[in-house]
Structure 1
Amino acid sequence: MLNAVIFDFDGIIVDTEPLHYQAFQEILAPLGLGYSWQEYLDRYLGFDDRDAFREAFRAGGRPLSDQQLKELMAEKAQAFLTIVSVGVAPYPGVVELIRSISGNLPLGLCSGALRSDIDPILLQLGLTGAFDTLVTADEVAASKPDPESYRLAVQRLQGIFPGQVDPAASIAIEDTPAGIASATGAGLKVLAVTNSYPGERLTGACRVVDSLAGIDLEALRLLP
C-alpha cells in the first residue's frame, strides 16, 4: 500500500534549470567563471547552489571562502527571484497530480533549491500549503545524491503522520540520476520523468515516464 509521495522540485514541478543557469551566469561570468549551457547540463545539473558554486570555483582553480560562498548564494538567490518574477509555467499534469494527492496521502517536497527560490513559484502555481513538509537546500549539509534530504523528508512525514509512513512503501518523483540515488538511498521507490535526462540515464527507478500528464494517484498506487 502506498504510504507517501515526495516530489522533487526543479525539473519535476517546473523547468527552472534554464533560469538557474541564467542566474548563475549573471554572478559567475563577471568573475571569469562562467560556463556554457552544455557544461551546466553535464556538470552542474542536480547540484544545490552551494555545491554548484564550489564546483565552479574548483573548476576555475580559484579558492572560495565560506563568507564569499554565503555572499554569492545571496546574490544568486536575488538574481533568480528577479528572473522568475515574470512567471513560470509548470510541467504538464504535475499541478493536477499534486492536488489529487494533497489531503489524501502524506505529501512532501524534497529539493536542492533554496526555500526562497521555491516559495514564490509555489505561490504562483497555487500550491502554497499543498505539501505537508518541504525539505530544501537550506536545511541539509549534503546535497543529492546524498540521501540526507530524503531521509529528513521521511522523518518529518513520520512525525506528522505517526505509524503511517514507511519509506519502502513511499514514492519519490525525480528527474535526475542524483535525485534517484538520493531517494533510493533513503529507501524510497522512484518514479522518474525524462524531463532532464533520457530514460537510459535514469536507472534505479521502478518506472520511467516521459510526462506526468495522465499520471494520477491510482497509477502511483499501482507502481511495483
Structure 2
Amino acid sequence: MIEAVLFDFNGVLVDDEPQHCWALQRVLADEGITLTREQYYAHYLGLDDRTGFVEAYRRAQRTLTTEVLKHLVEKKSKLYLELVSTSLRMVAGAPEFVRDAGRQFRLAIVSGALRREIDAVLSRTGLAGDFETIVAANDVPRSKPDPAAYLAAHDALNQRRPIALDRCVVIEDSLHGLEAARSAGMPCVMLTTSHPSQTLQGRGAALVWESLDGHRANEFAGL
C-alpha cells in the first residue's frame, strides 16, 4: 500500500524543461560548445547541472576544472531564475494533484535542481508548505540515474516515521529519473511532458500519464 508520493520537480510539477534547456544551451554556447534541443532531451534531461556540464565537456573532449564547473553552474542557475521570474508555468493539474495527494499521503520533492531554484518556484505557487521533505542537487553526491536522491528522501521520511521503500511511489518525466526510481525499489509513474508515450512504453513504469490533470491520488491504490 502506497504511503508517500515522491515528486520530481522540473517537468513534473513545473513546466520548465524548455527554460532549463535554453539556459544550458546559452552557457555552453559561451564556452564554444553547441547543444541541440534533441541532444538535451535525449541525453541531459534528468541530470543535475554539475553532471550535465561534465557530460557536455566530455562529449566535446574538453577539460573542465572544478572552478570552471562551479562558475558554469552558478551562471546557468542565474539565467534559469531570470527566465522563470517572467515565464513560470505549472504542469497541467499539478497544484490540484499535490493538494489531493497531501490529504492521503506523505509528500516529498526529489530533484536534480538546485535548492534555491526549487524554493524560488514553490514560493510563487503556494505549494511550499505541502512537502514533508525536499532533496535537491545540493543534497546528494550523485545525480539521477543513480538512486541516491530517492534513497535520501526515503531516509528522511523513514527517520520521522518508518516507511518501506516500495510504499513510496515516484512521479517522473525523464528516463534517468525512471531508472533512479526503479533502482531505489520504488514504483514510478511517468508523465509524457518530456518524452512521448511510445518512448516510455516497456521501460518498467507502473503507469504512464499525459500530465497530472484529471488524475487523483487514489489511482495509486493498486500499486
Give TM class, smaller chain.
over 0.9
Letter in 2 for 1:97: F
Per the alignment, residue 52 of structure 2 pairs with 52
Per the alignment, residue 110 of structure 1 pairs with 110
Per the alignment, residue 168 of structure 1 pairs with 166
Per the alignment, residue 190 of structure 2 pairs with 192
Number of residues paired by the alignment?
A: 221
Q: Specify the SS of the correspondent of 2:33.
A: coil
Q: Specify the SS of the correspondent of 1:5.
A: strand
Cα distance between partner residues in 1 of 2:112 and 2:166: 22
- Tell me if structure 2 keeps the 8 A contact 1:177–1:201: no
Per the alignment, residue 33 of structure 1 pairs with 33
Per the alignment, residue 95 of structure 2 pairs with 95
Root mean square deviation of aligned Cα: 1.3
Deviation of 1:90 (Å): 0.7
Deviations 1:104-137 (A, max 9, x none): 4211110111112111111111111211000011
Fraction of identical pairs, as percent: 37
Deviation of 1:199 (Å): 2.3
Deviation of 1:207 (Å): 1.1
Cα distance between partner residues in 2 of 1:169 and 1:211: 22
Cα distance between partner residues in 2 of 1:152 and 1:84: 27
Map 1:1-224 to 2 at 5 A.
1-102=1-102, 104-160=104-160, 162-163=161-162, 165-202=163-200, 203-221=203-221, 223-224=222-223
Deviations 1:170-205 (A, max 9, x none): 210011211111011111111111111122332111
Deviations 1:154-181 (A, max 9, x none): 1101112x23x21112210011211111
- Tell me if structure 2 keeps the 8 A contact 1:87–1:124: no
Deviation of 1:89 (Å): 1.1
Q: Which runs of 5+ in 1 are unaligned?
A: none
Letter in 2 for 1:36: T
Q: Specify the SS of the correspondent of 1:86.
A: helix
Letter in 2 for 1:73: V
TM-score when normalising by structure 1: 0.94
TM-score when normalising by structure 2: 0.94
Cα distance between partner residues in 2 of 1:171 and 1:159: 18
Deviation of 1:103 (Å): 5.1
Q: Which runs of 5+ in 2 are unaligned?
A: none
Q: Specify the SS of the correspondent of 1:196.
A: coil
